Structure 1
């Protein structure tokens, strides 16, 4: 049994967590069940909750509405469970919920779990978790009882819109972080302490001994018996800390960031209200893609893995065979609206002309009443909640009530935040890939009801490109070669074609200005693809619609020009229709819309296309929208605006721009000012908050291991797991070998990727950059490689007979983080050589130019003439040093990318030793010595830069800068 699953043994003793499992086919889920661990059977099993009331009375349990998964960091596990939810829709008679709050229960010890469970229960009774009040009035009864007593047949489609009350906050972020310390126990206490963390002799973070003692509720310190202090904390409902087992050794970097990770996870999975679930309906598949091959399979085996967001963290339950507790989550948006249409709008014939044409109509207001926030109003004018069989509507025999559901599904591939996830990956998946489905059916759904589905797609421009977050209008930078881009481009459209059929692209980027860089490449690749036969013989439709130019002056209604161009194509795609569960017609193609972020402009266009599809579907129902009195269909615009805001918050941390036009079809200066504020907010998030959140997202998805937090603590940055550095480095070595080893008589011995100072002929000049080192039987090549365009920018060749010494050992270049001060992992070597006339440096400019190494001042390409001899005499030393150095440092063998480990299993020290030995072997092999004499060894073991030397050379400004950045970023 997996070790993570075994840790649920805690709950067999605590009996404190009641989890709502999924229902067997055709049944409602039971109110709650306990998770228990059986030592004899060595298995996890659900326990029937016959004594739930007794457990609730003793104040030691709380009910969770489902399991999100297990968060495991440095052998410390937390169970993530749903403590609050809100129903947002009902699809085919099955309820759909959004998660509004989660609880993280530590599993390190029984006492810790018990204390946490009691805290959670008390917080739920008070209506708060971690200081935040519950905002959902419709779930108030569930909070007070701890059970779910809503009958299925009482649930009706919901009218969803932002509520003013939903933005109410009872505490500030500063109070929650600084005063409450995140409610995450000892780690938070030390993280936010002024004394904080210290560094031991082995350079590992550990708690400051003066801060580890936990004060009891009475104020006395209990240093001698931490378990007793923990028990006291369990007895105190307001206790903010629970003790951790002190026998686990020094706290690792991942644990040092644990409070921030827990807080980020709680906000991301719960408070963000961006994760949706249903106990018995597959939200991840559109109507045309429903998996009905085996209805007896568990839900997690039927869902689409492309949209299964908690698959990685819930895997321990799957491995343990507990499918009833595996609740697949969808990130994106689910919204639902009820609306009425009249199949025969009332008309009074006042007179007929000779041809019998109707001359006038009776104006009768049959439209539903809409409150200011966009909700359908009740008869008394108050905003409605769940619609109850036509409540809030007028009744006529010809009036039909429908339900429109909007579902946006965010892909788990290339998932993340705005400037940190752009473009495409090697598998053809693009950033911010979102499938949006528009479902229409009768409000009173029955198994025989007809359902309509229309699917659209959005995603980043399918080429490799990046943009810096440190600019309001960053210029896109295209990465990699044209061929590499085209290969990924083709893969993307192969994936889309396989899933949806024919593809029509609507690119909304600017035709002039910075965005044109990626727009031009997009268009060229589309033309090239179609000239080669398209995908499976079908061309990819491409329409470049410069949104900003066409809609200049806030005339967004000009989007209709794009609709006119694409109308016939969309009609040929059709939409999916099912009746009585039988597929009548299927959508045969998809509209793929993109701008730069695939948020604001994209949502406006998708709104227009969705409305056009709805009008066509209603026409099939015998309803002409143009004859309806409610021509504005404001409810439809509000639903799409809510969708745009949700997707935008998940990708850019703010609501969508142009939301005022989407909601009201009007645009004025107030909307422009709002968009300016959104731009500023996005800019702040992009340069401050997004880096850690991105690392947390990749960790939760299983793309990165806990090593990512070590990398983050070092650089305050997060890396892209889609980029296989092993593959790129091997390709770079091969490219360098072909280009720089020009002499066919030279035998290639080996190549390595190492770190080197940015400034040549130095040992410490940060930042370091990855360099390719090549060894032949006669020379050593140090190659500077441009990783974006996959080209050699410059290289330096040193003849082996010019090398004097090679020194390898500890190579500390910074003391700002624990990983940078680890003497066992920061290893490098320095090659000292005497520059000769045969040594060359070659710089890749418009023409590759060779210059003598002795005349080369730097690898930047600035060749200098020898200075006058008089100047050398004046300064008392040669202006061109006789000896030069090449410094190299080992790249960390620990990769944060899942599955990308150390292939050869060698440590940094072993790698450096091997490289030095190989260079020495080739040098000695070429030397001629007298018989009986031993060849002089060239390699010596000595520190390049010791830890003490590095500490002395680390300036105060450098320390302050890193500390300030850490304060803001981490």
Structure 2
């Protein structure tokens, strides 16, 4: 039987070590972390001298910062529901255990800890002690169920893989004190997934079932909206998410409530409903950024400056990306929803040029529509001969075709994909009788995937994905006999509401992790129509996105880079987070605030009856002019006032910063003063950034 993570762990602490034991498995080895070195070992007998300090739900990992190493433990987890009898939990609170007995306080160290704690607190992290939530049911059916849970986990969605690296390395090769593999460590390695997960019991036409929606966010090239775009050299794209919609039939062990799972329920097989076989129906979709080199440079303008590099330079990276996608999912139907006009057109053209370079004998056809020059265009290979001929590009002019609240016109895309959806099928499996490992008998497999994107892979993408999920769910319910031919589940109001709610929740959670707010157009997903309240909510979200993306996402991106190991803190790096802009540049926003204050005081302060009016008017006019100059300067040199990531700076941010400084030096008012700081700028502003970049390389 596979070694599963412990459900209950006691933490014992002393001046020389931390020890982790499982009270429900007294015969199991305890994990010891030496202080302050961080060396790991397994202990067979009882440990003496340690004091029990707490009980935890699991070990999230270990991370080394500038001055100390910390063990991150999960102190509170919330049950989210049962999936085939296996309880799934959400991480609620964590604690950082320092290896030094007397922690050293340092400004950078405190900032690192603040970033990590904020990331874990805001990130929706999920785990299960006995079920692999990082893999789809179809991939699980192909895996060796006797392997430890962490070995089965999909590397893309094993979000704490970096912070678990010390434990994993120890498990694989041991240490100088304990050489060789250490299988006893398996039970302390707990894979955690970042994303969205909802489990709900429901009925369709009096037939009970469990509806599950899981979105798994990739840990590769993860980040925030404007600081993570396009593709990297390894073929990882930004904001890549895999969404699996699952229907469980005759499974009385799923949903909320009941026993949270113990040793006798590791495989979740408590039995079906009335002796009927437990069936699993699963449908998978993906989303991800356009796989070319492109970026959007924040300038404090509402619309960032778009940069798209030559498509030829991205071909090798795109090959690596689609090679993985084809191996994992089969044929890829690439649905592109960006605008065909305006600034987004450059991204659309780049994507289409890339597909033409990848497929052999490319051919395309467009279908003109009444509201746009080209409502749908298709690109593929006329004679499939090689791997990348399994890419099938479909462009849909979403904004133009659905403007004026004509949401029914999205059906045009569904009609175009109908043949592909019929052919790709879906996964269907049943529990194999007598299988202690919970193995599945595969009755049907999904042979391809729809990969959808818009600019952010958020709002338009989720609308289309929910539409495809609805079509497939109707097909599944028809195939198993719950619905008759031509019937849809829309007639069941309660189930319709549940379906819409799940997909709207999915939109909000995926959007919040990338853009900082809930998704736009969720009123359409929740209610099926556009509402005034939904439009007002979209305006509020758009304003919030602007503020977050320009002033708050830099530290958030730093937290991603720190947790995922993109940036490695170094004891020699000092004052990494210091603002090294010239003091004059830093001071202008404060000067603007003073101007607003003086104008406010001059306007609303009560004057004596015999007081002269002209001096006060001149006072207000002078400060108004100064304030207007400050506002114009900030808006005109917005790159200097964006809160950029400091740990792993983006190349376009560095270039934009130096370009802005160069322009400021030409300013007739303050240029000569900024020029005096030229040496300090070039030597100091990106010193720590370049150090981080070299370590990554």
Match status 1:90 vs 2:110? no
Give the 3 Å change call, closer, same or farther, for CA 554–766 of structure 1 in structure 2.
farther
Task: Determine the structure 2 residue equivalent to 1:646.
Answer: 509
Other structure's SS at 1:538 match: helix
Q: How far apart, in 1, do the equivalents of 2:479 and 2:396 lie?
A: 30
Residue 683 of structure 1 is matched in structure 2 by 546
Counterpart residue number, 2:393: 542
1:525 is matched with: 354
TM-aligned CA distance change 1:720 to 1:892, over 3 Å: closer
Superimposed CA distance per residue, residues 143-167 of structure 1 (whole angstroms, 9 cap, x where no aligned partner): xxxxxxxxxxxxxxxxxxxxxxxxx
Residues of 1 paired with 2:47 and 2:553: CA distance?
46
Pick closer, same or farther for the CA change 1:896–1:324 going to 2, 3 Å: farther
Query: Which of 244, 247, 251 matches 1:437?
Result: 244
1:502 to 324, 327, 331: 331
Partner of 1:658: 521
Q: Is the contact between residue 360 and residue 389 of structure 2 (CA under 8 Å) also seen in structure 1?
A: no
What secondary structure sits across from 1:579 in the alignment? strand
Give CA-to-partner distance per residue, 1:772-810, whole Å, 9 cap, x none: xxxxxxxxxxxxxxxxxxxxxxxxxxxxxxxxxxxxxxx
2:427 pairs with 1:576: yes
Q: Following TM superposition, by how much is the alpha carbon of 1:522 offset from its aligned partner in structure 2, in angstroms?
A: 1.1
Q: Is the CA contact (8 Å cut-off) linking 1:19 and 1:63 kept in structure 2? A: no
SS at match of 1:674: helix
Measured against aligned partners, the alpha-carbon deviations of 1:601-647 in whole angstroms (never above 9, x if no partner) come to 11111111111111111112102172764157110110111111111
Distance 2:47 2:474 in 1: 52
Cα shift at 1:499: 1.3
1:619 and 2:497 aligned: no
Selected match of 1:402 from 206, 209, 217: 209
Write the deviation string for residues 286-326 of structure 1: whole angstroms up to 9, x where unpaired: 11112755433322122111111111111122233322211
Q: Does 1:45 align with 2:42?
A: yes
1:275 matched residue in structure 2: 125
Secondary structure class of the residue paired with 1:548: helix
Q: Is the CA contact (8 Å cut-off) linking 1:100 and 1:273 kept in structure 2?
A: no
Given the alignment, which residue of 662, 684, 689 partners 1:820?
Answer: 684
Instruction: Give the 3 Å change call, closer, same or farther, for CA 619–50 of structure 1 in structure 2.
Output: farther
- The residue aligned with 1:319 is 169
Q: How does 1:484-883 map to 2 (within 5 A)?
A: 484-532=313-361, 536=387, 538-580=389-431, 581-624=440-483, 626=487, 629-631=491-493, 633-706=496-569, 712-713=577-578, 717-718=644-645, 813=678, 820=684
Task: Give the Cα separation in 2 of the matches to 1:280 and 1:638.
Answer: 28
Aligned pairs for 1:41-440 (under 5 A) are 43-45=40-42, 61-109=53-101, 112=102, 244-245=103-104, 255-270=106-121, 272=122, 274-290=124-140, 293-321=143-171, 322-342=185-205, 399-440=206-247
- Give the SS at the match of 1:95: strand
Q: Aligned residue for 1:471?
A: 301
Change (3 A) 1:455 1:44: same
In the TM superposition, what whole-angstrom CA distance separates every residue of 1:437-461 from its partner, at most 9, and x where no partner exists?
Answer: 1111124154741111100000011
Preserved CA contact (<8 Å) 1:411 1:433: yes
Deviations 1:640-698 (A, max 9, x none): 11111111111111111111111111212221110011011111111111112212211
* Greater C-alpha Rg: 1
When residues 675 and 700 of structure 1 are mapped into structure 2, their CA distance, relative to the original with a 3 A threshold, is same
Cα deviation, residue 553, structure 1: 2.0
Preserved contact between residue 19 and residue 67 of structure 1 (Cα < 8 Å): no
* SS class of match (1:514): helix
Tell whether the 8 Å contact from 2:198 to 2:212 is kept in structure 1 after alignment.
Answer: yes
CA deviations over 1:132-181 (Å, ceiling 9, x no partner): xxxxxxxxxxxxxxxxxxxxxxxxxxxxxxxxxxxxxxxxxxxxxxxxxx
CA–CA separation in structure 2 for the residues paired with 1:722 and 1:298: 37
Contact 1:12 1:37 in 2 (8 A): no
Identify the structure with bigger relative contact order (alpha carbons < 8 Å, sequence gap 6+).
2
Q: SS of 1:656's equivalent? A: coil
Is the CA contact 1:430–1:462 (under 8 Å) kept in the aligned structure 2? yes
Q: Which moved more, 1:441-450 or 1:462-471?
A: 441-450
CA shift digits 1:804-847 (9 cap, x unpaired)? xxxxxxx9845589x829xxx98xxxxxxxxxxxxxxxxxxxxx
Tell me how far apart the structure 2 counterparts of residues 539 and 258 of structure 1 sit (CA, whole Å): 49
Residue 472 of structure 1, CA deviation: 2.2
Q: 1:279 to 1:767 in 2, by over 3 A?
A: farther
Residue pair 1:425, 1:723 contacting (<8 A) in 2 also = no
Moved more, 465-474 or 333-342: 465-474
Q: Distance in 1 between matches of 2:649 and 2:690?
A: 18
Deviations 1:225-283 (A, max 9, x none): xxxxxxxxxxxxxxxxxxx45xxxxx8xxx4233333223222213x251010111111
- Provide the rounded CA distance (Å) in 1 between the counterparts of 2:19 and 2:245: 36
Larger % of helix: which? 2
Task: Determine if contact 1:32/1:49 at 8 Å carries over to the other structure.
Answer: no
> Which sections of structure 1, spanning at least 5 residues, go unmatched?
1-9, 113-243, 246-250, 343-398, 730-753, 769-810, 827-890, 901-970
The offset of 1:329, in angstroms, is 0.8
How far the C-alpha of 1:711 sits from its partner, in A, is 5.1
CA distance 1:293–1:495, shift in 2 (3 Å):
closer
Q: Is the 8 A contact 1:420 1:694 kept in 2?
A: yes
Q: 1: distance between equivalents of 2:21 and 2:478?
A: 43
Q: Tell me by how many angstroms 1:557 deviates.
A: 3.3
Would you say the 8 A contact 1:705–1:897 is kept in 2? no
Give the Å deviation of 1:558.
2.6
Query: RMSD over aligned Cα, in angstroms?
Result: 4.0
Deviation, 1:567, is: 1.5
**Aligned-pair distance for 1:468?**
2.2
Structure 2, unpaired ranges of 5+: 1-10, 172-184, 254-270, 362-380, 432-439, 581-642
- TM-score (ref. length: structure 2): 0.70
Mapped partners of 2:402, 2:20: distance in 1:
52
For residues 720 and 551 of structure 1, do their structure 2 counterparts lie closer, same or farther at Cα, with a shift above 3 Å needed?
A: farther
